[in-house]
Structure 1
Amino acid sequence: MVKTGTEAPIVFLHIPKTAGQTIHSELSRAVGRKAVSPVRVHTQGGPGAAQFPPGYRLYSGHIDWEALETLPSSRFVFTVLRDPLERIASFYFFLRRKAERLSAQDLARPARTGMRMVLENSPDDYFFGGTPQWRRFIDDHHHSPYCSYLVTRRLRGHSQVADWPRQDLVARAVEAARGLDGVYAVDRLDVLERDLQERLGLQLNVTGRFVNADPASRDVSQWARLEPMLERDESRMRLRRFALADQMLMFQLGLGPRPQPAG
């Protein structure tokens, strides 16, 4: 356990496929790896305060944050957002790359369900087929995940807000986002670097660096790759609807363009 003294705890609410590995690596280097909480994924800790074990400077990962207020009020809490359609596509291709490297035995493990589904199904059936349990996985990871995470404080909280009118969900998400110390866009990480330097005295180098990114596709739109792979127009329209609330959120936060109607 690490004594942090008067240093403000840092909480990075890492939504998957938003340059988070790069940011986590730099934060870990800056504060020292012994000061990093071992809870990197919400399933590694229990509910509530167990997501924030005491004695660490950095809490960073795919964590639930319902018990955020158990940390000192001096904490610095932030998240990073990315164009929602780009994120949907990036997550899809990331799972495919990982799945293609695994043996059939590894793919058969329950923990590899997402990779098995992405490899064995067409894009249309990956996103819109499968069992009710699989559909919940897709909704949690792809249907308005920014808004859901901000409002419910849970990574897999979509079911709690699934029936909300879109405008209400976005309004609540904007309110929650403005309660954080920072919400940043993945294409403007220089702003995050500046804030961490000015507010915490930490020097990070994250702009233009992407851990876990596909080197062959860094300058290519991931959505432009995925969209023509979808065989059904309805699938394209449904994914655009998945992204719309998060696009509205980013626009209202000044982090993205005004969204186009999704139909």
Structure 2
Amino acid sequence: MSDGAAITRQEVEYAYRLLLGRPPENERAYEYGLGAGDLETLRRWIMASPEFLLRLRDDASGAMARWVAEQQQARAAIEQQAEGPPRIVFLHIMKTAGNSLRRRLEALVPPGTVRPEQLGRPAQFPVEHFAPYRLIAGHFSAVDAAHVPGPKRVFTVLREPRERLISLYAYWSRHREEVIAERGLGQQAIARRSTLLGFLRSKAPELNGTLHNAMTTVLAGDFVYAGGGRYAHRHFPDQPKLSRAELVQRALTNLLSFDYVAFVDRLEEDRPRLMQALGLPDPGPLPRENTRELVDAMLEPAREVEVTPEAERELARLTELDRIVYRLARQHYG
């Protein structure tokens, strides 16, 4: 089943049996599957269907156990046959100055080996999907980074949490109204019509995974704030919720397994060591990509963000765990 190849009837049946536990019910279902064009698209279609979500809810533990067992077998086979340099996995946390770093990495790996981020989260794909790719980078979680088969080098970049959250608000609030309307950008719409304080106090569900200790939840895996100081699994809400201490512990465990952790305020200092850890040459300073100075069809000119005492208190509340993780990461990585 080659990546991107035209799908066959046999592969349509394979996808149905794997994800739904049954073959296509009739010829129309086969035509629907063939209409996906390729196997990865059909998998995404099925996994977004009410039937799959209901099956996952009713048999979550069994479905996950079967999926994990199959993926472990495929992973072992791929890693045994692996040749050449390791894959590079960049967990790009939003507003951590990662775009210039991504451009550099894309220029250093062979043409055609950069996984397109628009394909979706890595964890949604079988391990054989990654065979052609040398660089896997994007706004995903530690779960996705762990799912990519080895040999691999995993890294991320961290930013002072208060500064990162203000930067995120400032960036989103600059999106033009027509762009927000055309693309249906709910988070940006909230930021545009809100002060920083209003944004930080928003109860909108679109912001639930953005405001509450977002760096920690991304590093811990697929978790979102569930209220009362507890964090729920994004896809399996029936699983026991994590306490704040448990979330931090999981985030730090994952972070310490990475091959390198860099920091925004010293990215140029980290750059040579990072490139060495990734097994890449270091051509020199990174190109500067400052979105604050960028004005284009998507972004309006930057405005000064008023950080009131009330906003400072909200920033402290919303980044409490992020600041713990960030401080411990700085101590560990020097």
- TM-score interval, smaller chain: 0.7 to 0.9
Specify whether residues 248 and 65 from structure 1 end up closer, same or farther in structure 2 by C-alpha distance, changes over 3 A only: closer
Larger-Rg structure: 2
Residue in structure 1 matching 2:102, options 9, 24, 35:
24
1:82 alignment counterpart: 159
Distance 2:105 2:275 in 1: 10
Specify whether residues 204 and 90 from structure 1 end up closer, same or farther in structure 2 by C-alpha distance, changes over 3 A only: farther
Distance 2:173 2:313 in 1: 22
Distance 2:129 2:157 in 1: 19
1:141 alignment counterpart: 210
1:214 alignment counterpart: 292
Q: How many positions carry a matched residue from both structures?
A: 233
Whether contact under 8 Å (1:48, 1:66) holds in the other structure is no
- The answer to whether 1:183 aligns with 2:256 is no
Distance 1:69 1:213 in 2: 30
1:10 deviation in Å?
0.1
1:260 alignment counterpart: none
Whether contact under 8 Å (1:13, 1:77) holds in the other structure is yes
* RMSD, aligned α-carbons: 3.3
What amino acid maps onto 1:194 in structure 2? R
1:123 deviation in Å?
2.6
CA offset digits 1:124-161 (Å, max 9, x no partner): 3223235xxx2x33231121111111112x3x644582
CA offset digits 1:86-133 (Å, max 9, x no partner): 00010111112223xx42xx3324632222222223333223235xxx
Specify whether residues 38 and 50 from structure 1 end up closer, same or farther in structure 2 by C-alpha distance, changes over 3 A only: farther
2:71 alignment counterpart: none
TM-score by length of 2: 0.60
Distance 2:246 2:283 in 1: 36
Specify whether residues 227 and 171 from structure 1 end up closer, same or farther in structure 2 by C-alpha distance, changes over 3 A only: same
Aligned runs of 1:47-62 on 2, under 5 Å?
A: 47-49=124-126, 53-62=130-139
Unmatched 5+ residue regions in structure 1? 217-221, 257-263
Larger RCO: 1 or 2 (CA < 8 Å, sep 6+): 1
Specify whether residues 173 and 76 from structure 1 end up closer, same or farther in structure 2 by C-alpha distance, changes over 3 A only: same
1:115 alignment counterpart: 188
- The answer to whether 1:91 aligns with 2:168 is yes
Distance 1:202 1:40 in 2: 27
Unmatched 5+ residue regions in structure 2? 4-81, 233-240, 295-301
Whether contact under 8 Å (1:79, 1:182) holds in the other structure is yes
